[in-house]
């Protein structure tokens, strides 16, 4: 688990310097580690580079200031580590699909990235990827650890608001349309699905467990036990979206095929479908 400790230290340094212009050399120096090893380890474990994590965290804090403060956009750009308002405007719009001015006028904050909290025993990390996972229906007692995982995987769900998600989750728990996989007290896999439409409305795996076959295990359960014979659908980022940290690729690797383009909550997405028997090995 030494690599997790190093990553946590790197995250701590990034979080303490969100208003500064920092780079990989500075992060690696702060945690006394080779920048090449840190970059590889960080990317492999969390699915994004230290630079991507820093950028997404800075833009999230900027979005918060746009909605909840009266600071000028230039001041917010400088606080986010950008040297000019123009550079900030360009990257903000590419990630949020709204200009800083439009986002401020919309008055609806949502995060691109929340702080990674890598806490827990992670006993099941030694479990073989092809082993049998104990996926169960979630209960209301699971809501705190469920939301802990939501915050870790929020980069895959643009325009997610926690209060709205909790409302949907409570309803799905009552109708047994919420699945969870836990390692001790921590949720490492979660899914919201619909018996009626066959849609997967939320699917998240703890970053440390993404190479353990958990998404496939969830799909096996819904297709083999809960949604037998139904066409399964899921929506994710469109091709080329700069905010995508790999979710589109992961969906396609599971065997989903591209379907129609959509717009959800004003955000451009794409629907994918998976017919019975098409799941990839």
Q: Are 76 and 189 found together in one domain?
A: no
CATH of the domain at 210: 3.40.630.30
Q: Are 264 and 157 found together in one domain?
A: yes
What pLDDT is stored for residue 121 in this prediction? 63
What pLDDT is stored for residue 2 in this prediction? 67
Whether 126 is covered by a domain: the verdict is no
What is the number of other CB atoms lying within 10 angstroms of the CB of residue 59? 24
What pLDDT is stored for residue 132 in this prediction? 77
Region 195-222 average pLDDT = 92
DSSP letter for each residue of 209-252: GTTTTHHHHHHHHIIIIISTTPPEEEEEEPTT-TT-SSHHHHHH
Whether 181 is covered by a domain: the verdict is yes
What pLDDT is stored for residue 64 in this prediction? 96
Q: Are 171 and 260 found together in one domain?
A: yes
Report for 103-107, 206-210, 262-266: range of highest mean pLDDT: 103-107
pLDDT one-digit tens code per residue, 39-64: 999 998 888 999 999 999 999 999 99
CA distance 14 to 26: 10
What pLDDT is stored for residue 15 in this prediction? 95
pLDDT one-digit tens code per residue, 105-143: 999 999 999 998 877 666 666 665 556 789 999 999 999
Which of 90, 106, 122 corresponds to the end of one domain?
Answer: 106
The structure tokens 């870790």 sit at: 152
In this predicted structure, the answer to whether residue 212 has a pLDDT above a threshold of 90 is no
pTM for this prediction: 0.89
Q: Are 95 and 142 found together in one domain?
A: no
Q: Are 143 and 269 found together in one domain?
A: yes
Q: Are 261 and 147 found together in one domain?
A: yes
Task: Judge residue 70's burial from the number of C-beta atoms within 10 Å of its C-beta, 0-12 exposed, 13-18 middle, 19 or more buried.
Answer: exposed
Whether 79 is covered by a domain: the verdict is yes
What pLDDT is stored for residue 275 in this prediction? 77
Q: Are 173 and 225 found together in one domain?
A: yes
The tokens of 2 are what?
Answer: 């030494």
Residue 197 lies in domain: 133-274
CA distance 1 to 244: 28
CA distance 186 to 142: 9
What pLDDT is stored for residue 128 in this prediction? 57
CATH of the domain at 62: 1.10.10.60
Count of structural domains within the chain: 2
In this predicted structure, the answer to whether residue 280 has a pLDDT above a threshold of 70 is no
């Amino acid at each position: 688990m030494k690599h997790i400790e190093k990553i946590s230290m790197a995250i701590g340094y990034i979080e303490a310097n969100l208003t500064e212009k920092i780079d990989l050399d500075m992060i690696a120096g702060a945690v006394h580690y080779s920048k090449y090893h840190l970059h590889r380890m960080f990317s492999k474990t969390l699915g994004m580079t230290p630079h991507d994590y820093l950028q997404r965290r800075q833009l999230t804090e900027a979005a918060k200031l746009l909605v909840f403060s009266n600071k000028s956009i230039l001041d917010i750009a400088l606080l986010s580590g950008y040297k000019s308002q123009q550079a900030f405007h360009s990257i903000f719009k590419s990630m949020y699909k709204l200009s800083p001015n439009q986002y401020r006028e919309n008055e609806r904050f949502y995060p691109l990235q929340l702080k990674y909290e890598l806490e827990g025993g992670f006993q099941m990390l030694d479990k073989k990827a092809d082993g049998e996972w104990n996926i169960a229906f979630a209960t209301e007692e699971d809501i705190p650890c469920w939301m802990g995982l939501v915050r870790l995987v929020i980069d895959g769900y643009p325009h997610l608001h926690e209060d709205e998600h909790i409302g949907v989750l409570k309803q799905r728990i009552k109708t047994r349309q919420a699945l969870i996989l836990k390692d001790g007290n921590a949720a490492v896999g979660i899914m919201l699905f619909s018996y009626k439409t066959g849609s997967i409305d939320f699917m998240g795996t703890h970053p440390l467990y993404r190479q353990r076959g958990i998404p496939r295990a969830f799909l096996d359960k819904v297709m083999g036990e809960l949604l037998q014979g139904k066409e399964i659908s899921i929506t994710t980022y469109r091709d080329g979206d700069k905010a995508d940290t790999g979710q589109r690729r992961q969906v396609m690797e599971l065997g989903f095929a591209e379907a129609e383009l959509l717009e959800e909550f004003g955000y451009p997405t794409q629907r994918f479908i998976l017919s019975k028997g098409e799941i990839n090995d």
